[in-house]
Amino acid sequence: MRLSLPLLLVVGLLALPVTSPAQAQRPESDLGVGVQIGNPVGVTLRTDQAYRSPIEGLVAWDLAGGALFASGHLILFEQPLPLEDGAPAYLFIGPGAYLSAGDDHFDLGASGRAGLSYFIAPLELFVQVSPRFNVLPDTDVGLGGGLGARYYF
């Protein structure tokens, strides 16, 4: 199971030159709300505004740190992937920031997000990984991510 995400990302990157934007379409709605299961576990929101990069947010509970967790990411790169059934699937990447607050700590840092999403109207199913670079109160690195679903209104 650990090799599944890296394998999908490699296949997705190799397929970039042969994909066409006409093969996959975003949902008509621009607001998706859902859940993510992984680390952290919580509620996710995504807005897709015409002619702008999508924005993703997450308010969650960090299982590893036992803390309230919030993050936001700007999806700067989104590439459709070719699937035989023509269903809309995307590879996405973007920068962001996060904060984590627990009983004995407060962390703030920069993060990234990379993953795959698959659309079955009006649902989006996704898997993502989020590398983190903690800046305050001290420097550290970490990794988060998970599986999730969003419903588009």
Please state the domain extents for the chain. Answer: 4-19+30-117+128-147
The mean pLDDT of the chain is 84
Winning range, highest mean pLDDT, from 1-5, 52-56, 120-124, 144-148: 144-148
Encoded amino acid at 71, one letter: S
Sequence-ordered alpha helix ranges (H) in the chain: 4-15
Are the CB atoms for 12 and 79 separated by under 8 Å?
yes
Mean pLDDT for 8-36 is 59
CA dihedral 110, 114, 115, 120 (to 10 degrees): 80
Residue 11: left (phi > 0), alpha (psi -120 to 50), or beta?
alpha
Averaged pLDDT, 59-65: 87
DSSP bridge pairs for 115: 92, 128
pLDDT at 50: 65
Q: Give the number of other CB atoms < 10 A from CB of residue 24.
A: 21
Better-predicted residue by pLDDT, 114 or 19: 114
The lowest-confidence range among 9-18, 33-42, 87-96, 138-147 is 9-18
Q: What is the mean pLDDT of residues 118-135?
A: 95
